[in-house]
């Protein structure tokens, strides 16, 4: 079953009122929730994750940093807040991150990016074959899964989706720029493990006349609807 991860983010940054939004949507049936490592001070992030865990939700912290120093600050933040999953992190940091987590005896599940990730908000560049090669290399290193910027890919999205789902064995999270039900159905059809939505909910793109809570309830209801093959 494909899972929906609500990200308390906008343009790849955690929103300043993340705690207030969480309190408004926590009883909608959400099981998976997360945010970025930037946008809130550490005490606010810790409070946010404390509240998430109190509601027995599975938590995700996404790290989006191009420098190694900033990347590992994000990993430390994940440890401080007690996230269940670390998602993101550039491909050239994958091996070091896995080694670091093992040294720390951490039980975090790590889903790094694959391919050439650039800019902010992030986009994915590169040849599909190279992206798949990255994914296979990450699998061989022992990652728990892959965080794929599918809908931010500058090439053939359908080809990339087909190739990753047939070539990679680890679970996939599709992150970034999902903003309609057609894309969600595509995720369900391909049995993607999970996908994230943040900015599109903040912008009310699914139901323009409805509030954030109703956006989430409608997406969760849509997840229960069988998808035509």
* Residue-level pLDDT at 120: 82
* Residue-level pLDDT at 229: 54
Q: What CATH homologous superfamily does 3-223 map to?
A: Aldolase class I (3.20.20.70)
The residue-averaged pLDDT of 178-190 equals 96
pLDDT digits (tens, 9 = 90+) for 36-45: 999 999 999 9
Q: How far apart are CA 168 and CA 211, in angstroms?
A: 37
pLDDT at 186 over 80: yes
Residue among 20, 7, 85, 81 at smallest CA distance from 46: 81
Write the DSSP symbol of residue 202: H
Residue among 219, 216, 223, 221 at smallest CA distance from 27: 216
Domain spans of the chain, in order of start: 3-223
The answer, as to whether pTM is greater than 0.85, is yes
Angle (CA) 226-227-229 rounded to 5° is 130
* Residue-level pLDDT at 228: 64
pLDDT digits (tens, 9 = 90+) for 43-77: 999 999 999 999 999 999 999 899 999 999 999 99
Q: Are 99 and 121 in contact (CB under 8 A)?
A: no
Q: How far apart are CA 167 and CA 214, in angstroms?
A: 36
The confidence band for 116, taking pLDDT boundaries of 50, 70 and 90, is very high
């Amino acid at each position: 079953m494909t899972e929906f991860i609500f990200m308390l983010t906008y343009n790849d940054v955690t929103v300043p009122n993340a705690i207030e939004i969480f309190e408004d949507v926590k009883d909608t049936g959400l099981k998976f929730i997360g945010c970025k490592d930037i946008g809130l001070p550490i005490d606010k992030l810790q409070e946010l994750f404390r509240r998430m865990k109190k509601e027995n939700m599975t938590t995700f912290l996404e790290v989006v940093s191009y420098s190694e120093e900033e990347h590992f600050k994000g990993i430390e933040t994940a440890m401080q807040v007690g996230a269940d999953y670390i998602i993101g992190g550039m491909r050239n940091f994958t091996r070091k991150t896995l080694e670091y987590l093992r040294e720390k005896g951490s039980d975090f599940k790590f889903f790094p990016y694959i391919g050439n990730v650039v800019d902010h908000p992030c986009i994915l560049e590169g040849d599909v074959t190279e992206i798949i090669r990255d994914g296979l290399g990450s699998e061989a290193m022992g990652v728990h899964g892959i965080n794929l910027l599918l809908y931010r890919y500058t090439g053939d999205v359908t080809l990339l989706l087909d190739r990753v789902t047939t070539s990679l064995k680890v679970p996939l999270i599709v992150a970034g720029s999902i903003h309609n039900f057609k894309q969600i159905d595509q995720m369900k059809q391909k049995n993607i493990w999970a996908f994230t939505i943040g900015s599109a909910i903040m912008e009310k793109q699914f139901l323009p006349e409805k509030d954030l809570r109703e956006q989430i309830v409608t997406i969760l209801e849509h997840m229960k609807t069988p998808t035509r093959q």
